[in-house]
A and B are shown apart, each in its own frame.
Chain A
Amino acid sequence: MKTGLQKFTEKFVEGLLFISGSITSLAVILIVLFLFKEGWGLFNETPVEKGSVIALNKSNPVQQLSAAQVKNIFDRKITNWSEVGGNNDSILIFSVNDITNFYSEAELGDSLQFVPQRISELMGKKSGIIAFLPTEYLAKNFEGRILPLKKITLKGFLKGKEWFPTAQPAAQLGILPLILGTLWVSLFAILIALPFGLATAIYIAEIADNRVGKILKPVIELLAGIPSVVYGFFGLIVIVPLVQRTFNLPVGETGLSGALVLAIMALPTIITISEDAIRNTPRAMKEASLALGATHWQTIYKVIIPYSISGISAATILGIGRAMGETMAVLMVTGNAAIIPHSILEPMRTIPATIAAELGESAHGGLHYKALFALGCVLFVMTLVINLTVDLISARKKYSK
């Protein structure tokens, strides 16, 4: 018989477990919600920072410009309004500093009090003008027309090919190079790590005698405990020069260097999980194979690997997940050029490295800040997909006896 006190203690412990479980879940959900709330704010913004506007002459028929068009205009790659759907009129770029080219100091006033007025006049006079102005220089009866900019869209964000979040006047927020950089580096890391990892796992589980296994396994698990900045340092000092010399490159900080460092970092995950899967092969199944006259090797590749293939795939995908989210080591060795990669021997920039490198210098709540959060959401979705795939694979085939 249970006494009242025992019952109470049981209920109390149950309650404690329930509370700690709910708090943890709630914290995770809140973090994800916060990430998406901050990130989603990006899609209500235009690519021009608050406090500045882009203005045109009133007669200019152009209704809207995209961030890329603005950038090309200010980079003087587009020089005629007809290229962006306007009249055949050459573009005159104007910013506040250029005012002295048009007016004398006397006309601007002693303490520059007439500047907004003069800018307004100028905007009215020149038909081909485009101006990038801080809002405090807008006169009350402004004679130009403030150009509404296209809002940033999810599609443009994901498919944009240029990442210049601090560019003036319009930030270029295209993350395709970052997504591709992440995928290239992770994929190559796995291509390098998988053969070594699988071979080591098979060796430890099947071939090595117990004593060797007992030494080797802790050493491999030790790899997982080394801080990633140490890997990055090692990569910078050893792998980067090695890659540079081997392929005779101008710089050694390439996707390949990152992939090599990540491969070493993903090895413990791949080895431990595959080894467990291989060890889980029932002894009876191995014996059945051997009893039919199969050699040890035939047994390994015809029975043991097919039996443990779901565990091995899970290990691989978890390894990819680890590689994708890894920040520090990659930041140190990949060169961080935000350009669409064409070969693994080019500098690349990954999503986590971008966030780590740029979040400190972005203004809280600003465009850049929101863009980095949105980038975090993209990474979150990528790793989520990977984790779901692991669950799917490990649930797919549960061989019963």
Chain B
Amino acid sequence: MAKDYVKKPKVMAKEVNLYYGDFHALKGITLSMEENHVVALIGPSGCGKSTFLRCFNRMNDLIPNTKVTGLVMVDGKDINDRGMNVDQLRKNIGMVFQKPNPFPKSIFENVAYGLRVNGVSDAKFIAERVERSLVQSALWEEVKDKLKKSAFELSGGQQQRLCIARALAIEPSIVLMDEPASALDPISTAKIEELIYELKSQYTIIIVTHNMQQAGRVSDKTAFFYMGELIEYDDTKIIFTNPKNTRTQNYVTGRFG
């Protein structure tokens, strides 16, 4: 374990406060994550875990009257710095949302979108990358014969894997997942979890989840949020078996939340 602490953190948050207007949504969050780890953010609804996730690709910018203080570092760079190119930052960070949200385009164009908007026009390169991303997200076998079809023709679980493929196509180093399986049936959920496990070797994954078992199954570390505060952050095993804080214990054992 000692070796881990020598590693540079991939993602780091220090004293992060976030306000929606007058509402203090995140209260002094400090934590760091290492490369090729899966970190689960858990906590009851409205505890700030999704908001915290959206700090890493500055998605909170889109919500009016939002103010962030503190330091968010990705690959050693302060992403809230004025000189930061947000589009460039987001290119390096893939995001998968709660509900599957494919674009009103073909399956192929959905995956190619990230490349196209980033100025890639080499058709051969795009085709290769699309195939690779779909293989990675375990969707290729199901869609290889209907790439020209609308993405809306896929089932919910397939759409969500398509969204993962879309996020992977831009070759990010970090993937943010905001309750990626909450709108899916158990079989699709199992597939997504399997996928997260496989992707770990290449990506750093931060996943927000309501499902405690899911957090236990897929993550290396778990952070428990409550009322905008980070209550406890430790190895997943410790959080679920021997948490230091009683609130964490109450939550993971299902006594509230």
Contact = CB atoms under 8 A, between A and B. Distances in A.
Interface stretch (A7-15, A17-25, A293-301): A293-301
Contact of B167 (A286, A292, A294): A292
A294 B99 contact: no
A289 B103 contact: yes
Interface string A195-217: 00000000000000110000000
Nearest to B63: A283
Interface stretch (B22-30, B87-95, B198-206, B213-221): B87-95
B105 A293 contact: no
Given A287-B59, A288-B95, A288-B166, A293 B103 contact: no
Interface residues of A, number: 25
Interface residues of B, number: 29
B101 A290 contact: no
A399 B101 CA distance: 11
B149 to A, nearest CB: 14
A293 B95 contact: no
Contact of B104 (A291, A295, A307): A307
Contacts of A289: 103, 113, 117
A303 to B, nearest CB: 6
A290 B104 contact: no
Nearest to A281: B104
Contacts of B98: 284
B104 A399 contact: yes
A344 B87 CA distance: 47
A76 interface: no
Contacts of A209: 64
Contacts of B2: none
B114 A293 contact: yes
A288 B101 contact: yes
A330 to B, nearest CB: 38
Residue in B99, B100, B114, B163 whose Cβ sees the most chain A Cβ within 10 Å: B114
Interface of B: 57, 59, 62, 64, 87-88, 90-91, 93-95, 97-101, 103-105, 113-114, 116-118, 152, 163, 166-167, 170
Instruction: Give 7 closest A-B pairs by Cβ, nearest first.
Output: A293-B91, A292-B114, A291-B95, A294-B117, A284-B101, A293-B90, A298-B117
Interface of A: 209-210, 282-295, 298, 302-303, 306-307, 397, 399-401
11 contacts: A287-B62, A290-B59, A291-B93, A293-B87, A293-B117, A293-B170, A294-B114, A298-B117, A302-B103, A302-B117, A401-B100
